[in-house]
Structure 1
C-alpha cells in the first residue's frame, strides 16, 4: 500500500473513530464494569457487538448500497430514507447525542476545576467552538483525523495501560448471570448511538475518500472499509479497557453517577494528573463528535429541503436547540434517551443487517419491508412497556416472544417478517 494511501486511511480511520467516540462512549463502559464485576468479559463482548460490530456493519450497508443513507433507504422503499433518516438525525443530533456531549464536557472537563461556574456558561463555550468548526464541513474530517484524535488516543491509552498494570482493586463478585451481563452490555451499546450514527458517518467518510481522489468503486470501497476496520480496532481497545477499569475500580455502588465514576477512576490511576487527563480526553472526545454530528445534521436537512433552507442556518438552529437541552445534565439526558432508542434501534439494526447479509442475493424489496414492519411493531411494544403503558398481563404474554424480556424481542419477528415477505413474493412470481 503506497505511503499516500496509508496516510489517507489513517486520517479517515482516526476521524471515524473520533466521530463515534463521544460522551456516551467514554461514560458508559466503566459503569458496565462496575455492574457486572467478574463477568466483565461477557459484557465486553456484548458491548462490542452492539457498540462496534453493528456500527461497522452500518458502514458496510452504505458502501453496498451507494454513497449515503438515501441510497440505503431506497434499497427498501423510497419513503424510508427521508422518514427514518429524519428520526435518526433528530436522535443523534439536537435531541440526545449533541446535548449529551456538552453536558458531559461540563461535568467531567470543566466543573472539577471551576465548581462555581454555571452549566449554561460551560455549554455556551462548547457550542461556540463546535459551531465555528462545523460551519465549514469540508474541513471536518481532516481537522478531526489529523489533530484531535491522536491526542485523544494517546491519553486514553496511557490511562488504560496504567490501570491494567496497576489495578485499583480486584474484581467484585456479581449477582448478574451470564445472560443478564450479556444483555446489560448489549443494551448499553444502544446508548452509544453508534449504529444510528454509522449510516450517516459512512456518507461523510465516503465523501472525504472521494475528495482525496478515490472516485472509482473499488478504491473507494477499499479505503472506506479499511478505515472502518481501523476505527473499530481503536474502539475495541478503548471500550475493553474502560470496562476493565470499571470492574477493578473498587466501587460497588451501581447508583454512582457516570461522570463521578470516571473522575474517580482517573484520579486513582493517575493521581493529581488524572483530572487533567480525563478533562482533556472528554473535551476532545465530545468536541469531535459534536462537530461531526452538527455538520451531518446540517448536510442532511439542507439536502432534504433541497437547499431551500441552507446548511448554515440549520447548523445554527441545531446548536441552539442542543445548547438548551444540554443544561439538563448527563444522567437526565441518558435516562430520557432510552425510550426513543428502544424503538428506533431495532429498526435500524434490522435494515443494516439484512441489507448486508442478503443485499447481494435478494434484490426484491418486499422481504426487507416485512422485516422492518416486524421490528417496528416489536420496537413500539417495547416503547409502550418502558413507558408503563402495558398491563402486567400483556407484558407476561409478550415475554413469550424470544428475548422480549431482555429488550431484544425484535430478532425472531424480523426473521419471520423477512421470510414471509420472501416466500409471498416468490409464490406470486
Structure 2
C-alpha cells in the first residue's frame, strides 16, 4: 500500500469517526421502529441529510479555501462569525458534545453498572477527551489509526448478523412513504453532521497538508476521496441500523433510544451484546467528542485572534459539556430539535448554493437572499415547535410548499437565489468561490 492510499484511509476513517457519534448510533434504530416496511425510502432520506449534505459541506469548504471562514466570508463578512458561532455552540457544548457523554453513560456504563451515577462517568469521559484533544495536531491520527477500525468491526458484526438473521419482521405503520421520507430526512438533522462538516473540513484539510499535500489539486483529491470513503461506511452503517430497528419487533416510541439499541444488540449478539455495544458506543462517542472539542477550540481561538488560547477553550468546553451531559440523552435530543430546525435550513442553503453555483454565480446577492429566505421560514418553523403560533397562522403557513413537511425553506430560498441572480447576476464585485 503506497503512502497516498494509506493517508486517504487514515483521513477517511478519521472523518467517519468524527461524524459517527452518539446521535448517529441511537437515531437510525429509533427511526426504523416507526416506518414499517418503508425501509429503503427512509434510508435514502436519512442518507441525504446525514451523509450527502455533510459531504457537500466539506466540498464547499474545499472549493472556497481551507476553513469555514473562507466559505462564509465570501458571502458576507458577518456571516462567518455569526453563523459560525451558532454552529459551534450547537455541535459543541450545548448539544452534540454533552450528548456523547450522556450516551456513553446510558448505553456503555449503566447496563453493566446499574449503581453508577452519570457525574463520574462524565468526569472520566471528558478527562479523556481533554487529554486527547489538548494537542490538536494528533487528533486525526489518533482517531483514524486506532479508534475507528475497532468501531467499524463491532458495528459490521452487529449489522451483518442482524441482516442475515432478523429479530422479527416488519411491523405495521401509520406513516405513508412521504411521511417516512420526511421522518428520515428531518431526523438526519439530529446527527448535526451538516453543521459539523463545514467545521471538520478545516481539521481534515490541515491534516492533509501536514501529510505533505500542499498543492490545490493533490489536497482536493485526498480530501474528496477520503470524504467519499467515509460516506460509503456511513451509508452502510446507517442503512443497517435502520433495518435493525425496522425488524426489531418493537412497536411504538415509548422505549428510550438507548434502551432500544441495547435490546437490539442483546437480541442479536446474546449475552455479549451489551459488552459489544458498550465498547462501540464508547468509541463512537469518544472519537466524536475529541473532534468536536478540537474544532471548538480551534474556531474560537481563530475568531478571537488568539486572545482566547486553544487550551483554555478546550478546557472550558469540556467542563461545560460535562455539566450539561448529566441531563440525559432524550432530554438533550428534545432540547435540540427546535434549535436544529432553525439552524439546519440556513446551513444547508449555504452549502447547496455555494457547491452547485459557486463557480457560476460570482455576485454575493443571490446567496444573501437565499439565506435570508431560509432564515425567515426556519424562524416560523422554530415558532411552530415552541407552540407560539395559533391554528390560523399554521394553516396559512401550510400554504407554503413543503412547509408541513418541515421543508418550507426549499422553494423560498430558490426564489430568493434565482430572483436575485436574474436581477443582479451581471455584477461581479464579490467572488463566492
Change (3 A) 1:3 1:427: closer
1:349-360 superposed matches below 5 A: 349-360=348-359
CA distance in 2, matches of 1:87, 1:301: 12
Does residue 416 of the first structure (1) align with residue 412 of the second (2)?
no
User: Secondary structure, in 3 states, of the residue corresponding to 1:37?
Assistant: coil
Deviations along 1:88-137, one digit per CA (max 9) or x if unpaired, are: 00000000000000000000000011110111111111001001001111
How far did 1:25 drift?
0.1
Does residue 267 of the first structure (1) align with residue 269 of the second (2)?
no
- The residue number in structure 2 matching 1:102 is 101
User: Secondary structure, in 3 states, of the residue corresponding to 1:36?
Assistant: coil
- The residue number in structure 2 matching 1:131 is 130
User: Is contact 2:42–2:183 with CA below 8 Å preserved after alignment?
Assistant: yes
CA distance in 1, matches of 2:372, 2:287: 35
CA distance in 2, matches of 1:66, 1:37: 44
How far did 1:315 drift?
0.5
- The residue number in structure 2 matching 1:307 is 306
- The residue number in structure 1 matching 2:110 is 111
User: Secondary structure, in 3 states, of the residue corresponding to 2:363?
Assistant: coil
How far did 1:265 drift?
0.1
How far did 1:183 drift?
0.2
How far did 1:192 drift?
0.2
Q: Which moved more, 1:67-76 or 1:189-198?
A: 67-76
TM-score by length of 2: 0.98
CA distance in 1, matches of 2:365, 2:152: 44
CA distance in 2, matches of 1:74, 1:417: 20
Following TM superposition, where does structure 1 have runs of at least 4 consecutive aligned residues deviating by more than 2 angstroms?
426-429
Deviations along 1:2-59, one digit per CA (max 9) or x if unpaired, are: 7100000000000000000000000000011101021111111100000000000101
TM-score by length of 1: 0.99
1:260-409 superposed matches below 5 A: 260-409=259-408
User: Is contact 2:266–2:273 with CA below 8 Å preserved after alignment?
Assistant: yes
How far did 1:421 drift?
1.3
CA distance in 1, matches of 2:346, 2:426: 26
User: Is contact 2:370–2:417 with CA below 8 Å preserved after alignment?
Assistant: yes
- The residue number in structure 2 matching 1:255 is 254
- The residue number in structure 2 matching 1:21 is 20
CA distance in 2, matches of 1:427, 1:218: 29
CA distance in 2, matches of 1:147, 1:391: 53
CA distance in 2, matches of 1:176, 1:32: 12
CA distance in 1, matches of 2:420, 2:390: 31
User: Is contact 2:29–2:243 with CA below 8 Å preserved after alignment?
Assistant: yes
Deviations along 1:69-99, one digit per CA (max 9) or x if unpaired, are: 0000022111111110000000000000000
- The residue number in structure 1 matching 2:59 is 60
For structure 1, the residue ranges without an aligned partner over 5 or more in a row are: none
How far did 1:391 drift?
1.0
How far did 1:60 drift?
0.7
For structure 2, the residue ranges without an aligned partner over 5 or more in a row are: 429-433
Deviations along 1:353-397, one digit per CA (max 9) or x if unpaired, are: 000010011111000001000000001111011111111101100
Change (3 A) 1:352 1:273: same
CA distance in 1, matches of 2:96, 2:425: 42
Deviations along 1:264-311, one digit per CA (max 9) or x if unpaired, are: 000000000000000000000000000000000000001111111100
CA distance in 2, matches of 1:356, 1:346: 15
- The residue number in structure 1 matching 2:210 is 211
How far did 1:423 drift?
1.9
User: Is contact 2:15–2:204 with CA below 8 Å preserved after alignment?
Assistant: yes
User: Secondary structure, in 3 states, of the residue corresponding to 1:250?
Assistant: coil
User: Secondary structure, in 3 states, of the residue corresponding to 2:38?
Assistant: helix
CA distance in 2, matches of 1:194, 1:116: 33
CA distance in 2, matches of 1:75, 1:226: 25
User: Is contact 2:363–2:425 with CA below 8 Å preserved after alignment?
Assistant: no
How far did 1:428 drift?
7.6
How far did 1:169 drift?
0.4
How far did 1:402 drift?
0.6
RMSD: 0.9
The total of aligned residue pairs comes to: 428
How far did 1:253 drift?
2.1
